[in-house]
Amino acid sequence: MKALIDTNVLIDVVQMREPFYKDSKKIFQMAIDETIEGYVSVQSLRDVFYVCKEKYKSKDPFLPIEQLAYLFNIIDVTSEDSISALMSGQEDYEDALLIFSAERNDLDAIITRNTKDFYDTDLFVIDPSEIDKIFEPGIRSGKSVVDLKCGD
């Protein structure tokens, strides 16, 4: 399954944000194990960078971005995605951008904690807490997720 990982899931992991950290970290593990083929939007990387730099005053806000870029495929947002998002009637423009970008890249799903915000799409929308109902849990690769966090 090719899945776009929403910004909130990425930030859950880099901030180690409870109570969401454990479920969101499973998504990273699934990408390492190649259970899913993970994708992130370039705008999500920008948002993670901002959180690390401004909120956490990280000395190296690029480190989590480098790690995310290594783990996930990066997709862009085009002017066509932007126009489609504007015309879509979706209440949240940023979420609409993700929908159209994911559809254009032939992805199967969006993994987000805000499932209710991703309507009017044929994409499968999954909450990280529900992922075990879809995939059998377990580490198959022998590798594990390193802690990606903003702080020192």
Entry pTM:
0.86
Centre a 10 Å sphere on the Cβ of residue 135 and count the other Cβ atoms it contains: 14
List own/partner pairs for 74-79 with CB under 8 A and 24 or more apart. 74/39, 74/40, 74/41, 74/42, 74/45, 75/4, 75/39, 75/40, 75/41, 75/42, 75/101, 75/102, 75/105, 75/107, 76/41, 76/42, 76/101, 77/41, 77/42, 77/43, 77/101, 78/104
Q: Are 147 and 71 in contact (CB under 8 A)?
A: no
Could you state, in order of their start, the residue ranges of all structural domains in the chain?
2-132
CA separation for the pair 85, 69 (Å, rounded): 25
Task: State in Å, rounded, how far the first CA of the chain is from the last one.
Answer: 34
Q: What is the CA radius of gyration of the chain?
A: 15
Give the residue from 140, 89, 93, 118 showing the smallest Cα distance to 5: 118
Q: Mind listing the pLDDT tens digit for each residue in 86-99?
A: 999 888 999 999 99
Which of the four pLDDT bands, split at 50, 70 and 90, describes residue 77? very high
Q: How confident is the model at residue 133 (pLDDT cuts 50, 70, 90)?
A: confident
Strand order in the sheet with 124-126: 73-75, 37-41, 2-5, 109-111, 124-126
CATH superfamily of 2-132: 5'-nuclease (3.40.50.1010)
